[in-house]
Amino acid sequence: MLAAAAALAVPLTASAADAPPASANVFTRAYDTTTKNVTLTFDADWWSAGNPGEVLRILRENGITAAFALTGRYVEKYPDQTRALISAGHKLINHSYDHPYFTQETQASRWSQLDRAEAAYNRLGFTSAGWFRAPYRDGYLDAGVNRDLAARGYYVNYDWTYDTTGYQGASLDTILARVRQYTVPGGTILMHLGDDSTDTAALPSIISTLRGMGYGFTDPYRSVTKGLIGAKYAALGAQRSVLGVPRTGEMVATTSGTSAVQWFDIGRIYWRNDIGTFEVHGAIGGKYFGMGSVTSFLGFPRTDETTTPDRIGRFNHFQGGSIYWSPPTGPHTVYGAIRDKWASLGWETGFLGYPVSDEVAVTGGRASQFQGGNVYWSAATAAHEVHGLILSRYIAVGGTGSRLGLPVSDEYGISTGRRSDFRGGFITWNATTGAVTVTYY
C-alpha cells in the first residue's frame, strides 16, 4: 500500500458530445480544492470484518457520510456488516472481487473482477453505481485500466490523497502526525476496517484533529460534483434526490460552446452559460437521451422536469421544443408550429389532452396525435387541429393523402353543427342528425 499521494485530479472529457466517457475520471481529491473539507473513506477485504458497528456509531454521532471500498469476498463473508454500512447511507465502492493487482490483469479478468464484486453487492440489494477503487492503488492512473473501467460502465475511479497507515498498526501519534502533514482542502483520507487496523480506535481523534485544523467533511457523493451543476444537485437533495448517485465526473456537453453535463443514476444535469442549469431524468430523460440529447433538434433543457398544471403528467421544455409525459401516454416530443397551436388550445388541459405520438411526416406536411385529436401543419396551410367525429371521417377517407389534403382551419361552429375546412373540401357534422358529411371542391 502506498503511503501518501501528491494532490492530483485527472480531468474527464467525453469522447463525443454528451457521450459515455472513454476513460474513468480519477478523483484523488474532491473537485473543490479551495474549501477546507475532506472526505473519509475505508477499505476492507475478507481477512477480517473489523468493527463496522463502532465506525458507524462514530460517523453517525459526528454527522459524517463516508465511503466504503469493499471487495466482493468481504461482502460475501460479512453480509450483515455490509448491510449495516451501506444501509446507513454511506457510499459503496467496487474494490474488485479478490483484490488483485489490476495492471497485471487482462481486460477480461478486470471485467470479471468488477462483475463478480458487483454481483455480490447486488445480492444484498446494493450497487456501486459505477464507482471503483484500485486494490493496492495499483494502476489507478494507468490509461489502459481506466479505459477498461469506462468500457464496463465504471466512470468514477475514486482514489485517495493519503493513507493514515492504520492498517499497518500505526500508533495514534503516527496517524495524527500524518493527518496534520498531508491533509489538504478537498482531500480524501484512506483508512481500513480490518481487525489489525488501528484506524477505528483513532477515528474520534482523527475527526477532532481535523476539526481543530478548521476542516469540515464532504460526503463522497458531493465530492465529485462542482460549480453550478454541483449546486443544482445539492438543491435537489443530492444522492437522496430523484437523480440518485453521480455516475460520471463533469464533462463537456457539446463540442462547441461553453457547456457541461454530469450523468447520474436516474438522469443528467446540463449547464450552458447562456441558458442555465437544468436536470432531465426518468422517462422524459430516456426519450431525450435516446434522441441524442443536446445534439438533437431539442438542444439544451430550459426547465427542470416539472409537474403539469393538471397534476397528472410531467414535462421538460428545451431550446427546440418540449417532451410531455403522462402515465397513459408515455413521453412524446412536441415542437414548432404544432406545439404553438397545442399551447394556444390550452396545452394538456385543453380538449386535445396529452400527445400520444411524436411529430411525424404526413402527405404534404407534419402531424402530431393527441388524446383528443390531431394537429396538422405545412408551410402553406399553417397548423390546425382536427378532432372528434370529423377527425374520424377525415381519417376514414384517407386523411392528408385523400382529395381533402391538409386542414386549413380548426373545427368551428356553423348553424347546423360543426365544420372543418381542408384544401380540397370540408367536413360537416350535423348536431341534429349526427350525420358527418364530406364535401369536395
Average of pLDDT values for 209-225? Answer: 98
Using the CB atoms, write b or e for 133-153: b if 16+ within 10 Å.
bbbebbbbeeeebbebbbbbe
To the nearest whole percent, how much of the chain has pLDDT over 90? 95
From residue 248, how far is each of 52, 262, 329 by CA, in Å? 28, 6, 31
3-state SS, residue 187: strand
CB 421, CB 384: distance < 8 Å: no
**The one-letter amino acid at 225:** T
Q: What is the pLDDT of residue 17?
A: 84
* Structural contact between residues 272 and 258, judged by C-beta atoms closer than 8 angstroms: yes
Between CA 251 and CA 33, with CA 268 as vertex, the angle to 5 degrees is 45
Q: What is the mean pLDDT of the chain?
A: 95
Give the per-residue pLDDT at 1: 36
Helix 79-87 to helix 52-62 angle (10° resolution) is 10
Q: Comparing 24 with 47, which gets the higher pLDDT?
A: 24
How far is residue 306 from each of residues 104, 152, 299, 316, measured CA to CA in Å?
A: 49, 33, 18, 6
Enter the CATH code of domain 25-223.
3.20.20.370
Indicate the pLDDT class of residue 122, thresholds 50, 70 and 90: very high
pLDDT band at residue 254 using 50, 70 and 90 as cut-offs: confident
pLDDT of residue 418: 98
- Residue 327: predicted pLDDT: 98
pLDDT, tens digit (0-9, with 9 covering 90-100), for 294-325: 999 999 999 999 999 999 999 999 999 999 99
pLDDT value for 19: 92
**In the chain, domain spans:** 25-223, 337-441
Model confidence at 16, pLDDT cuts 50, 70, 90, reads low
The set of cell numbers assigned to 233 is 444537485
Summarised one tens digit per residue, pLDDT across range 343-356 is 999 999 999 999 99
Span between the terminal Cα atoms of the chain, in Å: 87
CB 409 within 8 A of CB 384: yes
Report, as an integer, the average pLDDT of 202-224. 98
| pLDDT reported for residue 255 | 72
